[in-house]
Amino acid sequence: MKSNCASLSAICAPLLGLLLITPGFSQNQNKVLEWSKSPVGSMNERYGPNIQLFKQIDGIEIEDILLGDKSIRMGEPFGADIDWIRNITFRVKNISGGQLMGIQVTVILPEMNTSPQIVFIAGCAHSENQKCLMPGDEVELKFPRGHMYDWVKEMVAKERNISTISKAMISTMIVTLPNGMQWVSGCVKTAEVKNACPNRQ
């Protein structure tokens, strides 16, 4: 009888270990943040009178892209949990020489047929609690607080489980100027060469 118990222990212990490890593994799949292959501004599109369209916005510069407190690179896989998208931060610098009222990065999920528009924002144009950006200022663009992430999950759930989302793509960059003019592009200058948009000028 003791030998049977010992045999069962020898079999069950490794299986129990696998059960304990598997959930953690599934929540740390490889994810990737990438540029659009056909970014806004690269195909001679036309917009309204208050919009300046660029192949790449050079008046701001992405200094770093963070997931929590760790840097990630565009197009390179990284480990992350299920809610990774809301934990991305874009650290951006105003290198334009003038005041900027707001910056927005819009991200989509290319694995979906109809993706929600996921925004990361900063500046006084987006919130009276945030300051406007003077030349040389750096700001962190973060996912808005509140119920926005619940809405994103609801939109994703119409097509698939959010745990299966492994890609996010920068769709549009918008910079708002004091006169109401907006710079718009699918590419923006980056401090790190390895983060550079492949469709830049």
Query: Is 73 exposed, middle or buried (CB count within 10 Å of its CB: 0-12, 13-18, 19+)?
Result: middle
- What is the C-alpha to C-alpha distance for residues 54 and 43, in angstroms, rounded to an integer? 10
Whether 201 contacts 186, CB under 8 Å: no
- pLDDT tens per residue, the chain (201 residues)? 444 444 444 444 443 343 343 333 344 569 999 999 887 766 666 777 889 999 999 999 999 999 988 999 999 999 999 999 999 999 999 999 999 999 999 999 999 999 999 999 998 887 777 889 999 999 999 988 878 899 999 999 999 999 999 999 999 999 999 999 999 999 999 999 999 998 765
- Asked, for residue 15, whether it belongs to a domain, the answer is no
Whether residue 169 lies inside any domain: the answer is: yes
7 in a domain, yes or no?
no
How many domains does one find in the chain?
Answer: 1
Please, what's the largest Cα pairwise distance for the chain?
Answer: 85
Can you give the residue range of the structural domain that contains 157?
29-195
Whether residue 12 lies inside any domain: the answer is no
- Residue 144 burial (10 A CB sphere; 0-12, 13-18, 19+): middle
55 assigned to some structural domain? yes
Is residue 130 a part of any domain in this protein? Answer: yes
> Could you tell me if residue 33 is inside a domain?
yes
Contact 56, 201 (CB under 8 A): yes
Does the pTM exceed 0.85?
no
The two tokens of residue 11 are: 């079999």
Which residues are 175's β-sheet partners? Answer: 103, 183
Residue 105 in domain? yes
